[in-house]
Amino acid sequence: MRDRTAVDTIKGYFYQFDYSIYKIMNLDEDEGITVEGIEDVDVHTATEEAAVQCKYYSKSEYNHSVIAKPIRLMLSHYKEVKDGIKPSIKYYLYGIFKSGTDKLVLPIDNTFLKEHFLTYTQAKKVYKHHINLGLSDVDLNDFLNKLTININGKNYDEQVKEVIYLLRKNFYCSEFEAENFYYNNALKVIKDISTKSNISERFITKKEFIKSIDKSQVLFNEWFIKYKGKKQFFASIRNEYFTMLNVLPFERFFLIEIDKYNYNRSVLKELIFIISKKWTRLSKREPNPFCPYVYVHNISTNELCKIKSDLYYEKFNFVDGFVYNGASFSAEAITQEANCHNNIKMKIIDNLDYLRRVLNYTTKTKEVYQFYIKNQYFNVKNDSIKDIKIQIESLNDIKEII
């Protein structure tokens, strides 16, 4: 319920973010947008400069007063253009309302503009914004020629679908990848640049935007989590990568990062047991038995030894590539077949160097699942190996995902 409430609360922000993504995806690569510039989104093309005010009132009835202030602000900008202070642009007011949009019959004339948008009352005093600015009817007509109003915009879900479609089309990818990789990244990019203090830093071209979101990894982006909901987010990853249907006898490598400042041995052990239970097949009837590999990032040698000791005394059978005391690591030893006779339930890899050696040694189909907290710590560099990178906050997230 909390996730759903969070989404409802910030839908207006998402609507604006999505509109920004939609606009930039429809530009040429050297054209771009400024987020939170003159208006919510400023669009810069080869032929036009435009400022867009984006309104989301899907649960409210339309009234002229709702869009009056944005229009007055646009007119104030127009006055600065007329005075030669700023360059000429086009103005767009875009949005959606639950009802009442029939009250606004387009196009409007300057009489309607003055009566419903430019005249207002504040502290019981009537103001006429066009008079305060010293603008004539000729000026207002010119302003109207530069102003486009659309209060019957796409609904929230329709706009998201259009954004996902544009991302799929651009990256030639699946719907899952478009949403969880590129849309996830896009939300983060738009949110990040919107908070820059310098307006020049809030500008981005389509070419730069595409490059910045072209990352094939699942990010734990707080805005994407709010959009989708944490449980649904985890469920979508699980359905895409960790379904238990038709589990094939591949060499699966689970790379797990721990938070050194928020570490609990029992939680890590529980996760190891879960991975083994779900991704081990040792039955006599299994023609190609297998078990998973696990590497734990940021764990000390001493703590890893304690984990192994616990597993040993709990009669959880594993191998780590060391065949006797004092022996060197052996890729051959750790890649031995797990079966019902030796009952190997897990293969534990001590460090990244050993991981590279195992990946190079084994000739079976390989899949690497890297769970990282802030920064990735391993690059596969082999297109024949499935390489999935998933950002997490804690080990408990992995338990929910796999």
Residues 87-131 pLDDT 10s: 999 999 999 999 999 999 999 999 999 999 999 999 999 999 999
398-374-319 Cα angle (round to 5): 50
Say if residue 247's pLDDT is above 90. Answer: no
pLDDT score of 222 = 84
Q: Residues 169-180: what's their mean pLDDT?
A: 95
Bridge-based pairing state of the strands 251-257 and 293-297: parallel
Q: CB-based contacts of 339: which residues, under 8 Å, 6+ apart?
A: 282, 289
pLDDT score of 4 = 45
Taking only the tens place, the pLDDT of each residue in 255-292 is: 999 998 899 999 999 999 999 999 999 999 889 999 99
Beta pairing partners, 402 = none
In 3D space, the residue among 158, 147, 146, 144 whose CA is nearest the CA of residue 19 turns out to be 158
The pTM (predicted TM-score) of the whole model is 0.84
- Helices 156-171, 11-25: axis angle to 10 degrees equals 40
Are the beta carbons of 370 and 387 closer than 8 angstroms? yes
pLDDT score of 9 = 56
What is the pLDDT confidence band of residue 133, given thresholds at 50, 70 and 90? very high
Where do the structural domains in the chain lie, given as residue ranges? 10-213, 242-401
Long-range contacts of residues 113-122, Cβ cutoff 8 Å, at least 24 apart: 113/71, 113/140, 113/143, 113/144, 114/140, 116/64, 116/68, 117/64, 117/67, 117/68, 117/71, 117/72, 118/68, 118/71, 118/72, 118/75, 120/65, 120/68, 120/72
Q: CB-based contacts of 7: which residues, under 8 Å, 6+ apart?
A: 14, 226, 227, 228, 229
